[in-house]
Structure 1
Amino acid sequence: TAVAQPTLAKDIKSRHTRRFGIIQDVPAGVRVTAAHEAATRSLSACAHSQPRRRRRDNMAARRVLSLRGADTSKLLQSLCTNNVATWLEGSAPALAAAFLTTKGRVLADACFWRHDDAVLIDCAAAAAPKLLRHLKMYKLRADVKIRDEADLDVVTATSTLQNCVVSGSDPRTELLGSRGIVEKGTEGEAPGLYLRRRLALGVAEGEELEGAVPLVANLDALNAIAFDKGCYLGQELTARAKFRGQVRRRFMPVALHETDVTHSAARAEPPADPVPFAPLSVDVPTVGAKLVSNGKDVGKLVAVSPESTAAVADVKLDFALSGEVLDVRVEGSDVRAAPYVPPWWPEDESE
């Protein structure tokens, strides 16, 4: 992947001011690199040290549900954040979406797949029971048969998948690689690779999203929300936050360090196969640990891995995109964290 040229912090901030509704001046002339320096070095070193074979990762933390029947599209259209009707009329194999509570918080994220006369739902294993209850509660007398497909698994890879029931590029961002559904028992490779890649890109999923505000969790930027569709359960909070521009926090990738951070946030350009950083030599902070700068809370960790210094945090945008050098202490540990802008963040306000 080509590395972008150095960019003024003002340019980065202005793009995200338009996109995310954040208003704050950035000192003119502040210069940032086009990639988070430490992140890019580590990503590149790891990627080039890996064999060039195809890697596949079994997703034990995911489950597959299926919906069949004449009212499948109508039911999903009324309950999820994306436009299922338009998707089913097209040819894309997969669609990213989320189911919300009545208060507009994330109940479960999902990846929809078309397969014969069914829609397959790839969702977090922990969320599957409550999602099943949710679907059945709102199904009422609709012509929809809902089933837990216990004989199917979800797999991911860094290149094209084969021998799958269905497969394709991850609908959230192609940087996550390929994704597919396979018969249970299909052998996978490189356990944990997908998790490390996902954290390096700052993408939260599963239990990490539970209870989150959809826009704070970047579901709009990850192609999981259609703002031009009709009403659906929990829509009001999402629509209000979008059209009033009241998004003050976002989930962002952070690089964890054992020493002081000396660089500022910038748009990262990972290599084609972004295998993130080596593990810390100290204990990894826990999910929920606060990020503190100059005595002020600026965020909290929402996803971590003991195998990597890549993590995802819920961060205040006026802080993260200020163009200043970021030196964030993870409360209760000796670890510091530096947020950086993931390459899939939109550069302007177009959807």
Structure 2
Amino acid sequence: MNRLKTYLTFPRSFACSSRTFHHTSSKQFPDHKTHFEHAGPLLSLLKSRSVIRFRGPDTLKFLQGLLTNDVRRFGEPVGEKTANLPTPNVPVASVPPVYAALLTPQGRFLYDLFLYKPPRSEMKLDKTGSGPGTDPDEPFDLFADVDASVLDELLEALKKYRLRSKVEIDNVAEDFSCWQRYGPSLSKKLPDVDEPEAASVGWGAGVDRSATSASRGSNFGWQWFKDPRLDCLGFRGIFPSNVTPPLVEVDKETDEENYLFWRIKKGVAEGSTEIQKGEAVPLEYNLAALNAISFDKGCYVGQELIARTHHRGVIRKRIVPVRFVTNDGKEVEDKVTPGSEIIDTMSGKKAGFVNTALGCCGLGLLRMEAAFRSSGNLSIEGQDSVKVEPGRPKWWPSEWLEDHQHHTAFA
């Protein structure tokens, strides 16, 4: 089945009409009704991400010593096996994705990876549809979606670390694509409640009501997973590029820029452009709170700086969502570019810089003290008329603000 070509469209000002940030003043930004808020679950093909595959008996050992997160769960049993699996042909239990990063030896960010373990044959029905499949020679596979803009250098870096490890690292970007399913109706669900439809279908023509995938023992089994970073980000998955993923409604597929806006609202950076490659300190980009770092897994590349910074306690700079406005509060669109410096007008000192910009919104890496001391003191260097209003996402732990004693006015 060919991918759907119908896209959900929004007005140009869409990315600046929805104001859900929590500001340091006693009042929140006005809550405007938008097309986004009433659109229901949206889906975006993430062209900014590519898919790679790790294959071989040393895959977990190799990645465990390299990445910031604990990947040993991929080697653990996944619940009880059943003789009759639900239709379509997806496992009754599966390991959720793992979000992780590859760092420099000095602990600076290089690349992020979303790791997925595909269902093995014994977790699916055989070709007769009467019992679990068996394939004693089936290789151990892990897939990962990664930043497409640095794909070649990431593959080169991984192969340099491989040495004599029995693991193959392949570019399968032509065969698989990464998708995100997100929106207000998904983010409002309770943390422990899965979306039933997403949890019960694999890839193919939606729900397989005729049971053909199970009865034929086909290679279905790719499915949506909760985004491993935050519940409010929705669902994520990789799917064969030549088919349409399940739950991709005709009028709900939308441009990836809308997913970028959704992430900006939540204060989440992604990829080696938004998380500056070779420069970013992972904890300043909130990677620990985004479930990308394990502090008890043992050694990995760059661990020393991460552990030292974590145990020191206070992170003085963080990535935050920001809004660009005039002196009288009107939104300023397309006037700010990534890399622009943000100045604290009270002290005249640099408060941080703009990391990502989309319309009148963006992400900024700001000193916490300057960002949340009081409102109206931040502006773009060289553009005094453009003010910067930082926001605090709802998912932030309260102790992040208590560390700086500037938290009294947050909602």
**Counterpart for residue 3 of structure 1:** none
- Whether the 8 Å contact between 1:93 and 1:167 is mirrored in structure 2 is no
Residue type matched to 1:113 in 2? Y
**Counterpart for residue 290 of structure 1:** 341
Deviation at 1:327, TM superposition (A): 3.2
Deviation at 1:348, TM superposition (A): 4.4
Residue type matched to 2:155 in 1? L
**Counterpart for residue 123 of structure 1:** 146
User: 1:152 pairs with 176, 181, 204, which one?
Assistant: 176
**Counterpart for residue 75 of structure 1:** 62
Deviation at 1:281, TM superposition (A): 5.5
3-state SS of the aligned residue for 2:166?
Answer: coil
Counterpart Cα distance in 2 of 1:156 and 1:181: 9
Question: Which protein shows a greater Rg?
Answer: 2
Counterpart Cα distance in 1 of 2:170 and 2:97: 19
Deviation at 1:326, TM superposition (A): 3.7
3-state SS of the aligned residue for 1:127?
Answer: helix
**Counterpart for residue 112 of structure 2:** 109
**Counterpart for residue 235 of structure 1:** 303
Is 1:330 the counterpart of 2:384? The answer is no
TM-score, reference length from structure 2? 0.67
Judging changes above 3 Å, is the alpha-carbon distance between structure 1 residues 166 and 51 closer, same or farther for their aligned structure 2 residues?
closer
Deviation at 1:99, TM superposition (A): 0.5
3-state SS of the aligned residue for 1:135?
Answer: helix
- Whether the 8 Å contact between 1:261 and 1:338 is mirrored in structure 2 is no
Structure 2's unaligned 5+ residue stretches are 1-21, 79-93, 121-139, 187-194, 204-221, 401-411
Counterpart Cα distance in 2 of 1:108 and 1:95: 14
Residue type matched to 2:31 in 1? R
**Counterpart for residue 224 of structure 2:** 167
3-state SS of the aligned residue for 1:242?
Answer: helix
3-state SS of the aligned residue for 1:70?
Answer: coil
User: 1:201 pairs with 258, 266, 273, which one?
Assistant: 266
Is 1:343 the counterpart of 2:394? The answer is yes
3-state SS of the aligned residue for 1:99?
Answer: strand
Is 1:299 the counterpart of 2:352? The answer is yes
3-state SS of the aligned residue for 1:297?
Answer: strand
Deviation at 1:145, TM superposition (A): 1.2
3-state SS of the aligned residue for 2:297?
Answer: coil
3-state SS of the aligned residue for 1:225?
Answer: coil
- The percentage of aligned residue pairs carrying the same residue is 34
Judging changes above 3 Å, is the alpha-carbon distance between structure 1 residues 220 and 181 closer, same or farther for their aligned structure 2 residues?
same
TM-score, reference length from structure 1? 0.77
- Whether the 8 Å contact between 1:108 and 1:123 is mirrored in structure 2 is yes
Deviation at 1:127, TM superposition (A): 2.0
Counterpart Cα distance in 2 of 1:127 and 1:328: 33
3-state SS of the aligned residue for 1:126?
Answer: helix
Deviation at 1:138, TM superposition (A): 1.0
Counterpart Cα distance in 2 of 1:250 and 1:260: 27
User: 1:180 pairs with 221, 226, 237, which one?
Assistant: 237
Counterpart Cα distance in 2 of 1:233 and 1:329: 37
- Whether the 8 Å contact between 1:260 and 1:336 is mirrored in structure 2 is no
Residue type matched to 2:146 in 1? C
**Counterpart for residue 4 of structure 2:** none
3-state SS of the aligned residue for 2:31?
Answer: helix
Structure 1's unaligned 5+ residue stretches are 1-5, 10-30, 263-279
Deviation at 1:46, TM superposition (A): 4.7
- Whether the 8 Å contact between 1:289 and 1:332 is mirrored in structure 2 is no
Counterpart Cα distance in 2 of 1:62 and 1:312: 20
**Counterpart for residue 165 of structure 2:** 142
Q: How many aligned residue pairs are there?
A: 295
Deviation at 1:293, TM superposition (A): 1.9
Is 1:84 the counterpart of 2:71? The answer is yes
Counterpart Cα distance in 1 of 2:181 and 2:73: 27
Deviation at 1:184, TM superposition (A): 1.5
Deviation at 1:61, TM superposition (A): 0.6
Deviation at 1:51, TM superposition (A): 3.0
